[in-house]
Amino acid sequence: MTDGFGLGNLPYGVFSIAGDAPRVGVRFGDEVLDLAATLGDPIFATPSLNPFMAQGRARWTEVRERITDILGNGHQATLHPLGAVRLHMPFEVADYVDFYASEEHATNLGRMFRPDSAPLLPNWKHLPVGYHGRSGTVVPSGTGIVRPTGQRKPPDQETPGFGPSRRLDVEVEVGFVVGAPSPLGEPVPTSAFADHVFGVCLVNDWSARDIQAWEYVPLGPFLGKSFATSISPWIVPLDALAGARVPTPAQDPQPLPYLREEEPWGLDLSLALRLNGHTVSRPPYAAMYWSPAQMLAHMTANGASLRTGDLYASGTVSGPSPDQRGSFIELAWGGQDPLKLPDGSTRTFLEDGDEVTISGSWGDVSLGEVTGRVLPPRR
């Protein structure tokens, strides 16, 4: 049984066994292939995917073909039971950028925050809106998330106060990991997406909505976002998702030339959000308005360079129906419609002790899971 981690997937991660140094591996079913031991290549004996990712697409293809041959034809390989290894951060994050690419999510928040205006701001359908996040607080799945503290100003108070966030939220997202860098001053076109992006992971961009609401005007997200972003331990290569490619929804008005795609890079991924083991939402990634190739082109349109280990994420994935919303601010509609759980409890936002898990797949290719538990604030 490969359970989403068969020969068609072969995602990369970093693992260790008790007493040994972390190194690069590939998940195959419920085992981890030790690449350094199997291929005899010291680049995989390092505690990060970055050196391998920096080698570029031709090398990525070559290694994937060798791994497929070894595992598919029963050649000698060093495999470890998944339960016997410890998983680590799979790569060193260089820069982190988060987009806002779901029309449904942006529309929902616009309706909540600007009920008397158009839900989408004028620029939204002309460019992929995003913000530059904090790479140092990107953490691996399983890391506890300490409830952040900051300034908050509820509508019924004249002045702000300072304390733990009362509106802690999650965002179901898909992340894209850059392998091959680009020179400063040279934009990356949509057609070069697959030459630079190594693979895909799951992302939970934790959000303190009350801190964010007070600080984000006029410059945008800052402390309400920068305290933690969780990623899944396995990076699924783009080649494993070739069959998942679909066109984005119709884009009207037509994007400017630098954002147009000759071939579509929408992805038909199925996502799920669980709270304390109960599935509360199933957001469809195929509904995302902007594709990852368009996000990459916009991110570099001003000449900004790419570095190996850059991570950019899609922003919250939400679909058209209430059970497809990828954040609690949408699921509970800003706190006005509490979410009812099977045990009889309700949630508007996260409570201490809550555990959130995001999972994803395309067909029989699994993206794995990213999990985090909310810890009390540190006083």
Q: Are 44 and 23 in contact (CB under 8 A)?
A: yes
CATH 3.90.850.10 domain locations along the chain: 96-375
Give how far the C-alpha of residue 61 lies from the chain's centroid of Cα atoms, to the nearest Å.
Answer: 23
Cα angle value 323/96/360 (rounded, 5°): 30
pTM over 0.95: yes
**CATH of the structural domain 96-375, one choice from 3.90.850.10, 3.10.450.50, 3.30.300.180, 3.40.50.720:** 3.90.850.10
Percent of the chain scored above 70 by pLDDT? 100
CA distance 25 to 234: 10
CATH 2.30.30.230 domain locations along the chain: 12-87
CA distance 369 to 165: 25
Q: What does the pLDDT look like over 115-144, one tens digit per residue? A: 999 999 999 999 999 999 999 999 999 999
The one catalytic residue in 75, 105, 278, 298 is: 105
Q: What does the pLDDT look like over 83-119, one tens digit per residue? A: 999 999 999 999 999 999 999 999 999 999 899 999 9
Q: Are 287 and 104 in contact (CB under 8 A)?
A: yes
Q: Does position 308 have pLDDT exceeding 90, yes or no? A: yes
User: Per residue in 350-368, is it b (16+ CB within 10 Å) or e — as a string?
Assistant: beeebebbbbbbbeebbbb
Residue type, 306: L
What pLDDT shows up at residue 182?
98
Is 132 annotated in the active site? no
Q: Does position 371 have pLDDT exceeding 90, yes or no? A: yes
Omega of the bond prior to 218 within 30 degrees of 0, cis?
yes
Fold classified for 12-87: SH3 type barrels. (2.30.30)
